[in-house]
Structure 1
Amino acid sequence: MVKGGKIIKKRVKPGKDIAGSVVEEFRIKLLKLINQEIDELAIDMKGISMIDSAGLGLLIAARNSLGQTGGKLSLTNVPENIINLLKMTGVDRYLDANAAQIR
């Protein structure tokens, strides 16, 4: 949602691994940002060492929610082990490698 000709970008850092009970807490945080009708949401993955299946599902759901309104989701500072997990599970196909800034 470009407002007044300006692209609205937000950055969020999970703060810890995206697994277990943290997933619901992070989901609420993401929903609040998505409901602000932003154009781009960057998730800073620095320091994240683990994502479980619920966490992967959350990333895909966030991408889909943003996509419905023309927004984009990107991942930044993705650790090597998380890159490997995204590739191994095929989730990298949903989080476009260019947009995801996977390194």
Structure 2
Amino acid sequence: MNLSTEVIEKADKKKILRVAGEVDAYTAPELKANLNPLTEEEGVEVIVDLTDVSYIDSTGLGIFIGALKSAENHGATLRLTGLNERVKRLFTITGLDEVITIDDENTEEAK
């Protein structure tokens, strides 16, 4: 399956990246190319909306770890929202839910 992304800029230095499809070894480079530049902006809040993501593999998890490190290095923040049970379980099993902020429900900002 393909991956699609859309960047939505909000006021107050918020940027939303809506992601749809599957994040795997084939589509992860596209996610990285769209996510990392957002995390490199000083003081920006990056919200990644994963509502329409059905699958993430370890390559995809690595992209989020790299984005978190980039955000921290640039004084930005990273939040994930809209995770389905399967995707959320993967973040929990790997312990990434302890280091990456995950909203339990979709936020109004991401809609």
Structure 1 portions without partners, runs of 5+: 1-5
Aligned-pair identity (%) = 28
Query: Does residue 48 of structure 2 align to residue 43 of structure 1?
Result: yes
Runs of 4+ in 1 over 6 A off after TM superposition: none
Q: Determine which of 77, 82, 97 is the counterpart of 1:77.
A: 82
SS at structure 2 position matched to 1:64: helix
Higher share of residues assigned helix: 1
Query: Does residue 55 of structure 2 align to residue 53 of structure 1?
Result: no
RCO comparison, higher one (Cα < 8 Å, 6+): 1
Query: Does residue 28 of structure 2 align to residue 23 of structure 1?
Result: yes
**2:40, 2:70 within 8 Å by CA — same for their partners in 1?**
no
Structure 2 portions without partners, runs of 5+: 1-10, 106-111
Higher share of residues assigned strand: 2
Q: Distance in 2 between matches of 1:62 and 1:31?
A: 6
**1:18, 1:52 within 8 Å by CA — same for their partners in 2?**
yes
Matched residue type, 1:19: D
Q: Determine which of 15, 34, 37 is the counterpart of 1:32.
A: 37
Q: Distance in 1 between matches of 2:91 and 2:63?
A: 13
